Structure 1
Amino acid sequence: MSIDMEQFRGVFFEESQEHLAEMEHLLMDLDPEAPDPEQLNSIFRAAHSIKGGSGIFGFDALTGLTHVMENLLDKARKGEMPMSVAIVDRLLSTTDILKSILASYSSNTEIDWASIEQGTQALEAILGAKTPAKGAGYALFDSPVKAPGPAYGLYEKTQQVKESEDFGFFEPIGKEEKDDGFGFFEPLPKTEKEEGFGFFEPPAKTEKEDGFGFFEPVAPAAATMQAPPAAAPPLPEEPKSPPKTADVKKAAPQAASPASVESTTIRVDTHKIDALVNLVGELVITQSMLNMIGSDDGGGSRDKLMTALNELERNTREIQEAVMSMRMLPISFVFNRFPRLVRDLSGKLGKQVELTIEGGNTEVDKGLIEKIVDPLTHLIRNSIDHGVEMPQKRVENGKPAQGNILLRAEQKGGSIIITVSDDGGGLNRERILAKAEEQGIAVPDYPTDQQVWQLIFAAGFSTAAAVTDVSGRGVGMDVVRRNIESLGGRIEIESSAGQGSSFVIRLPLTLAIVDGMSVAVGNQVYVVPLVNIIESIQPDESQIRSLGNDKLLWVREEYWPMLNLYQHMGLDGAQTDPAKGIVVLIESAKKRFGLLVDSLVGQQQVVIKSLEQHYKRIMGVAGATIMGDGSVALILDVESLASEVKVQKKEPQTS
């Protein structure tokens, strides 16, 4: 029987990503002084699963490196090798290399053979082996360029019995294990096992012996690789990504991102699928009811119709919620990558930092999951680099030597609140103001703390004394805010000198549906996201002040600049007098302002459709939606509208 293995590649990539994430998580939790045997077994099983799957698909770069890693883990779990921080660091570095290899196979980009060779040699150095383990069938590369030869040149020729039993690159195992098919295939009769495990075409005997039926036959001279160096290389001091040699092509950065491998799929709980199937069944019943009412000539049809329509409304709402829940993923998918970041960066900077995660089960839209990674990464790096002090300084200030960073998520209404806080030194008001003046950044007169904190989001702003590979170039915080605003969110800062800082991100629950307030301006209807609305008022004449040609609103003990929506959108026939219209008080990430409209139509959920994709980008518009009467309403982009609002500094006059 012949099976096209290509159809299983996607599953392999997904499962391997999960195995690597599990390995990294378990290694982070592992106590090198007293490692938990079950944790070591779990790490070993994850490596073994990747090796077995990669062997089936011929992903030799994965197979070779995971085999050596598996050898080390096997010795550790059997108590034959003591664990240490250095070994854990090396294993974590190896998972990074495996992620890069996996991404290269997934995106068909160049594999970095030099880093694989260096990673393999480092593991062999820990093992203390000068030659590959007996039966491993794995040899170090002659050179990164020569590595991908026939059968990728990775496997040594073994005896015929070993080819039929373990492909020549798995550890020799007992007969009873050998017949089980790596422990995750169904046991097969001997004839099938030797001819292709029951799902490969039985190859000719010469092919089976030379390449297992799916590798190119290896010539005798190429089958035996060059022996490893006489002495095992030392363990590199820096367990980061190994350097690349000049003769190895670099994979495209975007393609090599592990996130790109898993960006097109979602795993859905079967309970959610069952609920959706039941709801579709109810919708079919409701549709049958409406058909019967349509063909019924008897009395009482109106009451029956209203009952059926109410049922249809309920079905539609519940199906919408069920479908949206299928796009929702726990934010732990993002949070779980940061313990490694904190561990590596704090060690590099000589600081002691503990990361506390709360609310990892909070569910957010998959689109947000993918786009919030970079802003959070930068905020956490900043907290470690700029926020948390060196251990000695913390002790001198009466703090514990170990700093703490809190990463928390929670849902409030239709918003997701993500907080990144630290117990470091806090933001330095005087230093920020001095740096802003030095860089020519506009500063309000007598600025409040909140206004000063917002200066760090200016493009090019940085208070770092020197440029390092961690920070100092001033290209971070402005990008953080821009990315968050592109998601329809905003970021706020709270800081106290000597106590620490908190960065609070507010995001919509989903990018596909928004809770909004429909407003009328002239003969047009617009939707304002509820998350940005503070309140709506109809002001009286005493609350309206003038400053030149501009109108300001005095409310909540402060002046609010006003934006006339009819003027911004170029509409005729709209209300121009604020005292006769409605002013919607808006809060954006940049400022507060009043939005003048004719009237409020009502609150409702709307489905966002891309206007840029179907038409073109319009300033102040985030998208469009179709209303109940079939008309199109534009959804306002509050953040871009805020940039059009002038902030007045002079005292206005009463109208």
Structure 2
Amino acid sequence: MNINLDQALQTFIAEARELLQDMEQSLLQLEHAPKDADQLASIFRAAHTIKGSAGLFGLDPIVSFAHVVEDVLDRLRDGQVLADRNLIALMLECNDHLVELIEVVAVQRSTLAAQALDHQAQLRQRLDSYRQTQASVPLVPEAASAHATWHISVRFGTDMLRNGMDPLSFLRYLATLGELLGVVTCYENLPAAAQMDAESCYLGFEIRLLSEKDEASIAEAFEFVRDDCRLFIFAPDTPAQQYRQWLQEMGAEAAGLADALVHCGSVTAEDLLEPADAVSVVAATAAPAADKVVVENKSQRFIRVRADQLETLIDLAGELITASAGAQLMARQRADENLMEATSVVAGLVEQLLDGALAMRMVPIGDTFNRFQRVVRDVSGELGKDIELLISGADTELDKALVERIGDPLMHLLRNAMDHGIESPDVRLAAGKPARGTLRLNAFHDSGSIVLELLDDGAGLNRERILAKARERGLVGATDPSDRDLLNLIFEPGFSTAEAVTNLSGRGVGMDVVKRNITSLRGTIDLYSEPGQGTTVRIRLPLTLAMINGLLVEVAGGGFVVPLDVVHECIELPPGQRDILHQRGHIDLRGEVLPLVFLREQLALEGSVARRENVVVVKAQGQTAGLVVDHLMGEHQTVIKPLGPLFGSLRGISGSSILGNGSVALILDIPALLKTLIEQDNQRRLGSTGHSSITRNAI
């Protein structure tokens, strides 16, 4: 059966990756709690599900290796082997190898590379040593593991063939769990030939299976189609009365089912003819283990959506907002109240549509954070350090596009903290600290942004060494920089204070890339450090890269958007004092000095100055300033359009947006503008006569 097989295989690959990721997290948790039955069950279930699903597709290399892993996990679950650090390390390596086997399927390679095959052979040999280990606790009596006869009733969903699944593949897999004693193909749902759809499935099976497996293992054979099939599993020695009760519940299907039960050998015709009044008594006294399992829960259904399709939906919703704004503008120009009301309703619905599409892209940051548990375990062992990673705010949600791109910067910061920040156990003990170092990852929402924090309790940054290195490279003058500016020097290209190069860091490559990557996400990064106490890295990111709520302003006839989350207030520039304030560079705002950024001059825009100008007070990265603009045009929901590679290095501009009248408004990068203001102020204080605008710097 080849109908949509690729689609079904891609679904298997995606689900297998998720299962292996969960399996890794459970193994890491098991290392700290070796007797945690829930974690053991989760690990075994993941391996078993992957083996079963791979068997449906005939992926024998995955099935074969997963079976060996499952066997060791079964012994671990039964207490025949212990979950010590060595076994956990082996299971983590097996998890990595299963990931590699899945990737072979994903890229459609025929086999593993020679090196990977050698590694697999070594893993099998190490696993076999655990499989041959004799139990340290009394074994379950042989009678309890004897083969028993089960009855399975399954009716597949009509979309099964369209989803690329073959009904016969389930029979083939069940045959690996035991012996098929009887199989009856049921087609009571088959319509007349004229109404038949060749791509729809109308089949089902009544199966008698001889197996030593338990009920959960048999049910997991149908895991891949569980939400789209009707499944009943009857335990061995189920009373005939219970079969009769089930037939009564099945209504019109009862006659065909009764015939199938007899043909399978699960019951006899005489069993089904016993008096009906005994059914309720026997059913009431039947053990729970003999009850049928009904697997038909469709209340929680999820579908997978390709990322590019979701991006297209968001782009179209953004275009709708632009078109809607144009329609509203036309309605106002015509002064047609009915049309204005209609366009207002449409605009509200379009905004809800865009908000809903954006909400579909929001995912918890916890999945990214949890992946670092393995990194901390492996790297700390490589460094000979004892380091623990604590996570908080894992349920904080942000745009999936941000989650995918923030992983690498966080990885580098984490490895850098373990290598340079946290001391070795003996040094920590000598300093009166616990031998185990602590890393903390935290996430929370703040003022329309998301803040990610990485904290360590290490030695902190060495300010003297940073200052010496900065002077050696000519990055600072005779005057010592502020504490914040000094710490941020480590983000300069090639800047490193490491005394030795390691496999992890020390080459002066990486921290500048971290900052550049975060800046490309319209984010900021700051450092805070206390000698002997540790270092905090704080990253601030927008919630989404697709749109922002902004304040639309006009300067020299052009539109500009100021992100609303940095706008503090708006005031009017004192009339008649423009030249004085431009020369002074600041204004007195209720007793506080407010630096001014005259956007007309800063962006080198031409045109006459407005008679009455306004000041937009913005605050970002702990800095406050006032943007001098001509007119305030009101709030504007802005769909961000990238500027393209030609303008990628333009300082002070982060993107563009199309207004309702078809004109383009540039989105201001407030942190970059404030940084430019600080640099120009420093130049003036140092007596520099050079002056450059954002636009000239970019060109």
What TM-score do you get using the length of structure 2 for normalisation? 0.65
Shift of 1:369: 0.8
TM-fit CA distance, 1:383 = 1.8
Per the alignment, residue 106 of structure 1 pairs with: 106
Counterpart position of 2:644: 612
C-alpha deviation, 1:604, in angstroms? 2.5
Amino acid in structure 2 at the alignment position of 1:74: D
The corresponding residue for 2:281 is none
Of 394, 398, 403 in structure 2, the residue corresponding to residue 364 of structure 1 is 398
Higher helix share: 2
Query: Contact 2:56–2:173 (CA<8 Å) still a contact in 1?
Result: no
SS of the residue corresponding to residue 644 of structure 2 reads helix
Report 1:367-446 matches (<5 A). Answer: 367-442=401-476, 445-446=479-480
With over 3 angstroms needed to count, the CA separation of the structure-2 counterparts of 1:628 and 1:166, relative to structure 1, is closer
Q: Give the match for residue 635 of structure 1.
A: 667
Which residue identity does 2:210 align to in structure 1?
K
CA shift in 2, pair 1:82/1:437, >3 Å: same
After superposition, the Cα gap between the structure-2 partners of 1:267 and 1:22, relative to the gap in structure 1 and judged at 3 Å, is farther
CA contact (8 A) 1:181 1:187 kept: no
Match of 2:126 in 1: 125
- 1:5-63 CA deviation, whole Å, 9 max, x = no partner? 22201211110011101100110110477432332222122112222223333444433
Q: Quote the offset at 1:637 in angstroms.
A: 3.3
Equivalent of residue 515 in structure 2, options 476, 481, 506: 481
Q: Secondary structure at the match of 1:35?
A: coil
Q: Output one character per residue of 1:207-233: Cα deviation in whole Å (capped at 9) or x when no partner.
A: xxxxxxxxxxxxxxxxxxxxxxxxxxx
Pick from 642, 646, 654: which aligns with 1:622? 654
Shift of 1:388: 1.6
| 1:393 Cα deviation after fit | 1.9
The 3 A distance-change label for structure 1 pair 71 and 316 is same
Give the total of aligned pairs.
Answer: 521
**Aligned equivalent of 1:602, options 626, 634, 650:** 634
Indicate if the aligned counterparts of 1:101 and 1:112 stay in contact, CA closer than 8 A.
no
Q: 1:553 aligns with which of 583, 586, 596?
A: 586
Displacement of 1:479 in angstroms is 1.0
Distance in 1 (alpha carbons) for counterparts of 2:464 and 2:416: 19
Change (3 A) 1:70 1:167: same
Deviations 1:144-173 (A, max 9, x none): xxxxxxxxxxxxxxxxxxx98559987999
Higher mean C-alpha deviation, range 456-465 or range 435-444: 435-444
Judge conservation of contact 2:621–2:671 (CA < 8 Å) in 1. Answer: yes
1:48 maps to 2:48: yes
Residue deviations 1:223-245 (CA, integer Å, cap 9, x gap): xxxxxxxxxxxxxxxxxxxxxxx
When residues 544 and 523 of structure 1 are mapped into structure 2, their CA distance, relative to the original with a 3 A threshold, is closer
Corresponding position of 1:496: 530
- Alpha-carbon distance in 2 for matches of 1:20, 1:26: 10
SS at match of 1:372: helix
1:116 shift after superposition: 3.9
Amino acid at match of 2:399: D
Cα 1:58–1:642 change in 2 (3 A) is farther
Could you tell me which of 154, 159, 175 is aligned with 2:210? Answer: 175
| Alignment map for 1:38-437 (pairs within 5 Å) | 38-108=38-108, 111-128=112-129, 175-176=210-211, 182-184=221-223, 264-265=306-307, 308=342, 310-437=344-471
Task: After superposing the two structures, state which structure 1 stretch, 351-360 or 59-68, moved more.
Answer: 59-68
1:20 to 1:180, Cα distance in 2 relative to 1, 3 A: closer
- CA shift for structure 1 position 379: 1.5
CA distance in 1, matches of 2:588, 2:519: 26
In the alignment, which residue of structure 1 is the partner of 2:143?
none
Specify whether residues 311 and 338 from structure 1 end up closer, same or farther in structure 2 by C-alpha distance, changes over 3 A only.
same
Say yes or no: does 1:459 pair with 2:493: yes
Given that 2:81 and 2:130 are in contact with CA atoms closer than 8 Å, whether structure 1 keeps it comes out as no
Shift of the alpha carbon at 1:435? 1.7
- Matched position secondary structure for 1:410: strand
Counterpart of 2:190 in structure 1 is none
Aligned counterparts of 1:104 and 1:551: Cα–Cα separation in 2: 66
Q: Deviations over 1:63-97 (max 9, x none)?
A: 33322222221221222222210110111122222
1:530 counterpart residue number: 564
Shift of the alpha carbon at 1:478?
0.9
Q: Is the 8 A contact 1:436 1:443 kept in 2?
A: no
Q: Contact between 2:34 and 2:84, CA under 8 Å: does it hold in 1? A: no
SS state of the match for residue 433, structure 2?
coil
Show CA shifts across 1:606-649 (max 9, x none). 11123328x96572432221223343212123455567554324
Counterpart of 2:84, as a letter, is S
TM-superposed CA distance for 1:124, in Å, is 2.4
Q: Is the 8 A contact 2:174 2:221 kept in 1?
A: no
Residue aligned with 2:221, SS? coil
CA distance in 1 between partners of 2:172 and 2:121 (Å): 25
Paired with 1:171 and 1:428, the residues of 2 have a C-alpha distance of: 66
CA distance in structure 2 between the aligned counterparts of 1:618 and 1:33, rounded to whole angstroms: 51
Matched, 1:448 2:482: yes
Q: Distance in 1 between matches of 2:544 and 2:513?
A: 21
Q: Partners in 2 of 1:411 and 1:103 — Cα distance? A: 35
User: Secondary structure at the residue paired with 1:337?
Assistant: helix
Letter aligned with residue 102 of structure 1 = I
- Cα RMSD over matched residues? 4.2
Distance 1:72 1:609, change over 3 A: same
- For the 8 Å contact 1:333–1:369, the answer to whether it is kept is no
| Secondary structure of the corresponding residue to residue 551 of structure 2 | strand
**Greater Cα radius of gyration, structure 1 or 2:** 2
Determine if contact 1:332/1:361 at 8 Å carries over to the other structure. yes
CA contact (8 A) 2:560 2:668 kept: yes
Q: 1:315: Cα distance to partner? A: 2.8
In the TM superposition, what whole-angstrom CA distance separates every residue of 1:435-460 from its partner, at most 9, and x where no partner exists? 22233333572322111111111111
Gap change, CA 1:111 and 1:441, over 3 Å in 2: farther
Label 1:304 to 1:536 Cα distance change in 2 as closer, same or farther (>3 A): closer
Q: CA deviation at 1:426?
A: 1.4
Structure 1 residue 518: Cα displacement: 1.4
The answer on whether the counterparts of 2:94 and 2:123 sit within 8 Å (CA) in structure 1 is no
1:596 CA displacement: 3.8
* Deviates further, 638-647 or 424-433: 638-647
User: Partner amino acid for 2:607?
Assistant: G
Q: Indicate conservation of the 8 Å contact 1:544/1:552, yes or no.
A: no
Cα distance in 1 for partners of 2:506, 2:77 equals 43
Shift of 1:471: 0.9
Shift of 1:363: 0.9
Moved more, 30-39 or 94-103: 30-39
Distance in structure 1 (CA, Å) of the matches to 2:675 and 2:536: 25
What is aligned with 1:216? none
Q: Percent identity?
A: 37
Who is 1:26 aligned against? 26
Pair 103,575 (structure 1): closer, same or farther in 2 beyond 3 Å: farther
Q: Counterparts of 2:487 and 2:392 in 1: how far apart (Å)? A: 25
How far apart, CA to CA, are the structure 2 residues paired with 1:643 and 1:60?
59
Aligned partners of 1:330 and 1:364 also within 8 Å: yes
What 5-or-longer segments of structure 2 have no aligned partner? 133-169, 181-208, 232-303, 688-699
